[in-house]
Amino acid sequence: MPRKNRIEKAGFYHIVNRGVASESIYHDDEDFTKFLEITQEASDEYYFTIYSFCLMSNHYHLLLETSSSNLSSVMQKINSRYSVFYNNKYKRVGPLWQGRFKAWYVYDKSYLKTLVKYIECNPIKAGITHKIGEYKWAMSSKNVEFSMFNFELLENINFNQELDENEQKKIDEFYCAKLEIKEDLVIKKELKKLDFYFHDLQKEVAISHAIKDGHKGTDIAEYLGVTKAAVSKTYINYKQKIKLFERLRDKGLFWSYSKDVNYEEFGEKLLVEYVLKYADFDDIKLSFRLFGKRELQSVWEEKLKSDRSFVKINLMLARVFFDMDVEADYFKEMKNARFEKLKLLAS
From-to residues of CATH 3.30.70.1290 in the chain: 11-188
Least confident of 15-24, 105-114, 319-328: 319-328
β-sheet with 102-105: strand ranges across: 48-55, 59-66, 11-18, 102-105
Q: What is the pLDDT of residue 214?
A: 81
Averaged pLDDT, 181-191: 81
pLDDT at 5: 62
Give the tens place of pLDDT for each residue, 203-218. 999 999 999 888 889 9
The predicted model gives 18-41 an average pLDDT of 97
128 has a pLDDT exceeding 80: yes
pLDDT over 50 at 2, yes or no: no
Q: Does the pLDDT at position 290 exceed 70?
A: yes
Helix axes 203-212, 228-250, angle to 10 degrees: 90
Run of H or E residues at 49: strand 48-55
Closest CA to 288 of 221, 220, 241: 241
Instruction: Report the pLDDT averaged over residues 265-288.
Output: 95
* C-alpha triplet 151, 152, 154: angle, nearest 5°: 65
- The strand pair at 102-105 and 48-55 is best described as unpaired
- Quote the pLDDT of residue 298: 95
- What is residue 22's DSSP assignment? G
Average pLDDT over residues 291-304: 94
Give the tens place of pLDDT for each residue, 149-175.
999 999 988 888 778 889 998 998 898
Q: How confident is the model at residue 1 (pLDDT cuts 50, 70, 90)?
A: very low
CA distance 284 to 289: 9
- CB half-sphere exposure, 285, CA atoms < 13 A: 4
Q: What is the mean pLDDT of residues 314-331?
A: 88
For residue 342, pLDDT over 60 is answered with no
- C-alpha distances (whole Å) from 82 to each of 19, 45, 75, 101 are 12, 16, 11, 14
State phi, psi for 96 to the nearest 5 degrees: -90, -30
Q: What is the per-residue DSSP string for 66-127?
A: ESSS-HHHHHHHHHHHHHHHHHHHTT--S--BSSSPEEEE--SGGGHHHHHHHHHTHHHHTT
**Residue 149 neighbours by CB distance under 10 Å:** 19
**Class level of CATH domain 11-188:** alpha beta
pTM of the model: 0.67
Taking residues 31-57, report their average pLDDT: 97
User: What is the pLDDT confidence band of residue 182, given thresholds at 50, 70 and 90?
Assistant: confident
Of 316 and 338, which is predicted with more confidence?
Answer: 316
For the chain, give the mean pLDDT. 90
3-state secondary structure of 274: helix
Between the ranges 38-42, 174-178, 218-222, where is the mean pLDDT highest?
38-42
3-state DSSP percent of the chain in helix, strand and coil, to 5:
55, 10, 35
The answer, yes or no, to whether residue 339 has pLDDT greater than 60, is: no
Residue 81 burial (CB count, 10 A):
17
In this prediction, residues 220-232 reach a mean pLDDT of: 95
Residue 206: CA atoms inside 13 Å, Cβ hemisphere, count? 17
Task: Look at residue 340 in the predicted model and tell me its pLDDT.
Answer: 53
Decide which of 193 and 3 is more confident: 193
Of the candidates 154, 183, 150, the residue with the CA atom closest to the CA atom of residue 47: 150
Helix 165-176, helix 112-120: angle, nearest 10: 110
Q: Please, which pLDDT band fits residue 346 given cuts at 50, 70 and 90?
A: low
